[in-house]
């Protein structure tokens, strides 16, 4: 009834949560796929104005649902057979499939809130997967697993390209991987309306710290300077920035704490101010931030 399987369908599904289908591929792309996850089929046509109104909200809601649901689009002008077999008489029409069977649907360009409710009736709250992915990504980054964190942030951004926390996280993974230019390009592309978002602001601070550290020279040279003069606080502060940029956050914090202990007022409290900036760049829940903040409190108030 619904056509034969196609070897191209697997490649289409691997591309993401939104894809197109044909009469020949419908069985594989929808019926078989719906045995693993809910599948929404959007029946549309190029001449349909309401279809164009529905598309942005429908795709946004599907991306927000993560891997819980996928969207398959069928142009009924080119492939009218399936719509006719299912009794679809007007478009846009969206039909949900689970376990190889149609289970729900709607007709017309519904508002985004109603589309989200429709999806949640099928698969539950649609934010859960992204929240979980974001937590995993942040934890991986805090643990020094930048490659793993980058992959997780990318998964979120595939689903929600404007996800602020994921963009900020991706900037920080670029920095952790020594890709300052990529981090800068990502920040430059952010709309001005969200630049002041705390997560984005922190990512920008992290980039500024990395840029400053890159201008300070070799770690070995800075250590030699301190070997000659342990009270060279400027070289010690520079060393702290370089250590942070190299990923040694514990040592970076300890160097700044050393200055604070020796001469709190040096250079208008520069060491404490720099340590606070590193906390912002690392993130408030980073274990190095948490530990160094405790040490700072002991130094300041003991």
Active site residues: 48, 51
Sign of CA dihedral 1, 120, 56, 132: negative
Cα–Cα nearest to 55, from 33, 70, 66, 71: 71
Length of the chain: 302
Residue 37 carries which DSSP code? S
Which DSSP helix (H) or strand (E) runs through 51?
Answer: helix 49-64
Cα–Cα nearest to 176, from 256, 282, 278: 282
Token pair belonging to 298: 């002991």
Owner of token pair 């340590």: 275
Residue 294: Cβ-neighbour burial (10 angstroms; 0-12, 13-18, 19+): exposed
CA angle 152, 149, 161 (to 5 degrees): 45
Residue 33 carries which DSSP code? G
Owner of token pair 């949560």: 17
CB-based contact 206:179 (threshold 8 Å): no
């Amino acid at each position: 009834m619904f056509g034969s399987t196609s070897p191209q369908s697997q490649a289409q599904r691997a591309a993401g949560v939104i894809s197109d289908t044909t009469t020949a591929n419908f069985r594989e792309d929808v019926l078989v796929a719906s045995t693993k996850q809910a599948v929404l089929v959007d029946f549309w046509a190029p001449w349909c104005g309401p279809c164009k109104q529905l598309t942005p909200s429908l795709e946004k809601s599907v991306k927000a649902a993560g891997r819980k649901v996928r969207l398959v689009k069928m142009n009924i002008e080119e492939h009218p057979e399936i719509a006719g077999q299912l009794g679809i008489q007007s478009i846009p029409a969206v039909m949900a499939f689970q376990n190889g069977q149609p289970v729900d649907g709607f007709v017309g360009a519904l508002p985004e809130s109603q589309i989200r409710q429709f999806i949640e009736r099928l698969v539950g709250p649609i934010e859960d997967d992204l929240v979980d992915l974001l937590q995993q990504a942040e934890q991986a980054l805090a643990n020094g697993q930048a490659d793993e964190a980058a992959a997780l942030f990318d998964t979120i951004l595939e689903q929600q390209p404007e996800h602020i926390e994921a963009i900020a996280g991706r900037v920080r993974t670029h920095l952790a991987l020594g890709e300052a230019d990529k981090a800068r390009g990502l920040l430059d592309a952010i709309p001005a309306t969200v630049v002041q978002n705390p997560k984005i602001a922190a990512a920008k601070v992290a980039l500024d710290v990395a840029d400053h550290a890159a201008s300070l020279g070799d770690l070995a040279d800075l250590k030699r300077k301190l070997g000659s003069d342990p009270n060279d606080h400027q070289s010690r502060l520079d060393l702290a920035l370089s250590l942070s940029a190299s990923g040694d956050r514990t040592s970076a914090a300890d160097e700044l704490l050393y200055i604070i202990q020796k001469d709190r007022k040096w250079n208008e409290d520069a060491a404490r101010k720099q340590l606070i900036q590193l906390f912002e760049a690392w993130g408030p829940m980073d274990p190095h931030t948490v530990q160094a903040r405790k040490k700072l409190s002991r130094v300041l108030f003991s």
